[in-house]
Structure 1
Amino acid sequence: MRRFRSGIACVALTGISLLGLNSCREEAPSVNTLKDAYEGKFTIGAALNEPQILNMDTASIRVVKEHFNSITAENCMKSGPIQPTEGNFNFELADKFVEFGVANNMQIIGHTLVWHSQAPRWFFTDEEGNDVSAEVLKERMKNHIYTVVGRYKGKIHGWDVVNEAILDDGSYRNSKYYQILGEEFIALAFQYAHEADPDCELYYNDYSMANPGKREGVVRMIKMLKDKGLRIDAVGMQAHVALDEPKIEEFEASIKAFSEAGVKVMITEMDLTVLEMPDFRVGAEISANFEYQQKLNPYSEGLPDSVALAFEERYLDFFKLFLKYDDAVTRVTLWGVTDNQSWKNNWPVRGRTDYPLLFDRNYQPKPVVEKIINEALNTK
């Protein structure tokens, strides 16, 4: 809630009398939401799922409207859901997502145009099941990107154009896109997206971005795109982090490297797991899956105080880092709204109870939220 800033405004509010008021003095605005605290520094975003987009989860929507000023499509804009068969686009959920963002004056982020995972199988094969030619794949990419980006031209602030195309050692992922087109598929994706909406921001998005090998590979990719005269506005650093991984110094090194390469940095898909990772080498590889074991789910009844404290300190450390680089960081997006909805409850082990987000299972802000707000207010 914002209060009047001057005594004149306060007098006007009373009409013709000040009777009954002890005083009417200037007061500073009360800031108690994330988006207000970080205004002028970077936007604060959340990924929306289907129940939220359809306004079925009204409790989550209240949190989104109060604390966030940016939204990302969690699943409904990925190529599999949006074009399940060739030429047949399903825009129903994506349209509602964009309508929600427009109606609430939010920065809208499209996610994602080109990704090896959750792509429809038909995209890479002919009627006999063989890989299509390079020319056919180019045409399919162009049609998909032109259709999706063009539909929301002027409404989407930015697109995750290519997602997770580089491995931890800096080499290209051997996806179907890469097998058929080589590294050219990345340049083509950015070219087609820019042609479809010349005013839209364009991003590359990936996980494990604190890894030195991946960092170097992404910097090479940025240079490749810029050398071709193509637009790339920012790199999205997925922040699927744990209590002790990655090292915050390595995360900082990547922010600096990407900024020095001539792009802005966006912190995307942020969540902080308190649970043990069976294998940290999987990063955020969605295909990874490990068998449930009770020892891997130790906090089903709640967090011990020591773990809750470590969780707070870790989140604060990251937000202090983002504030340190607020000239480079333009957005921080949480990958979900409340703990009970997070994908981390079922990845990489199904059926666990995790606590990775800033709002609890009762839709209430955790104590760390106030500390994150105060950190922004105390940073000039």
Structure 2
Amino acid sequence: MNNLPVKRNWFLAALAFFLSLAVVLLLNSTPLASAPGAVASSPSLRSLIGNRPFYLAAAVKEQPLLSDPMYGQVLAREFNTIMPENDFKFENLHPDRDKYDFSTTDRLVTFARTNGMHVRGHTLVWFHALPRWLLEGNFSREELMAILEDHVKTVVRHYRGQVYAWDVVNEPLNADGSYRDTLWLRSIGPEYIDLAFRWAHEADPEALLFLNDYGEGMSAKSDNLYSLLQDLVSRKVPIDGIGFQMHVGFLSSDNPPEVAENMKRIGELGLEVAFTETDIPIAKLPGKTEAEKLAQQARLYGEFLQICLDAPNCHTFGMWGFTDRYSWIKNFKGTPDAPLIFDVDYRPKPAHQAMVEVLQKWR
């Protein structure tokens, strides 16, 4: 189950898909002249990936796609994969026990298909973003298992063949590596993790299935995550890999060599590592001036992309957005912190150029 080249027809299908995008990629290889301050000589990240089976992903929101034309233009030009930031979460897709609402996610999937992009699904099972009817329902263990099974299978089946990978379980562990106290853990027990993966696999045997969490360097938490992965693999739970969130400086590692070391031992289990939510706020980075901090940010983006490209078990580099204009950090922390690779006016930052340079050397 965990030997990716043998496991499924996914790799060949993905390769064929990427080859079919040649015309789209040629169209996307020209500079984005309409972006204020765009560097005319800088190629797009997507054009540098070309038809190779590597997923460069950005978390997306529907609202700016509807209201801000530049958002969709830059997104489709620079990335070959989208991850709906919030719209796949339980409370948005499953607002009532007997009601599902796929209207928003269907539109996002259509946007991806129209622009020759892949879709990564985030997330099926999480302790947060749960609807009130579920939290206040006073359901028995058997009822909650039935609700969760129905949710996982209904969502995955709806997008069978359209979503290439799912973050099945998100953040099951605390910062210290213990199991997080959640509705699912309290009511079902730790086996909710196994069940979610098995149900997702039943619903779409071709989709790649990931556990997603922070704690990417070498630490007590990463040791416990590794032990959890070992256990899942040993019991033949259908898991394909782990997503490293990579909110650098906010519960995530800022040490690329440590992350690479952790990736190596996970690869020895036969599992993929995907960078899923990368962003790098500048507030706590070394430097006295904004320019110095942006240079440090660029260095880290380049180094993390490089270790993914160098690892045989890493084929996804995802960011939690792409423009500082719509970063979640501004709402979450109250300060912008400029964490992404385009500024609020869609001008490419030094981090974008660092990624360009890494991809230009990629062989």
TM-score normalised by length of structure 1: 0.79
Correspondence for 1:229 among 229, 236, 247: 236
Task: Work out the CA distance in 1 between the residues paired with 2:154 and 2:354.
Answer: 43
1:188 corresponds to: 195
Query: How much has 1:107 moved relative to structure 2?
Result: 1.3
2:257 equivalent in structure 1: 249
Please, which of 207, 212, 224 is the counterpart of residue 214 of structure 2? 207
1:318 maps to a residue whose letter is F
Q: CA deviation at 1:362?
A: 0.9
- The correspondence for 2:318, drawn from 316, 333, 344, is 333
1:350-365 residue pairs with structure 2 within 5 A? 350=334, 352-365=335-348
2:67 is matched with which residue: 47, 56, 77?
Answer: 56
Measure how far apart 1:200 and its partner are: 1.1
Structure showing greater Rg: 1
Shift of 1:125: 4.5
Q: 1:1-380 residue pairs with structure 2 within 5 A?
A: 2=26, 32-39=43-50, 40=52, 42-53=54-65, 55-126=66-137, 130=138, 132-242=139-249, 245-276=253-284, 304-325=290-311, 327-347=312-332, 349-350=333-334, 352-380=335-363
Give, in whole Å, the separation in 2 of the partners of 1:35 and 1:163. 27
Aligned equivalents of 1:221, 1:121: Cα separation in 2: 30
Cα distance change on mapping 1:319 and 1:345 into 2, 3 Å: same
Unaligned runs of 5+ in 2: 1-24, 28-40
TM-score by length of 2: 0.83
Alpha-carbon distance in structure 1 between the residues aligned to 2:209 and 2:329: 27
Aligned residue identity for 2:181: N
Where is the helix percentage greater, Structure 1 or Structure 2?
2
SS in 1 for 2:151: helix
Q: Which moved more, 1:183-192 or 1:34-43?
A: 34-43
Secondary structure in structure 1 of the residue aligned to 2:215? coil
Deviations 1:256-284 (A, max 9, x none): 1221121111001110011249xxxxxxx
Q: 1:235 aligns to what SS in structure 2?
A: strand
1:293: which partner in 2? Answer: none
The residue type paired with residue 374 of structure 1 is E
Q: SS state of the match for residue 247, structure 2? A: strand
Letter in 2 for 1:98: V
Q: Which runs of 5+ in 1 are unaligned?
A: 4-29, 278-298
How many Å separate the matches in 1 of 2:176 and 2:269? 19
Number of residue pairs aligned between Structure 1 and Structure 2: 323
Encode CA deviations 1:234-276: one digit per residue, 9 max, x unaligned: 2100010039953223222221122112111100111001124
Q: Which amino acid aligns with 1:82?
A: L
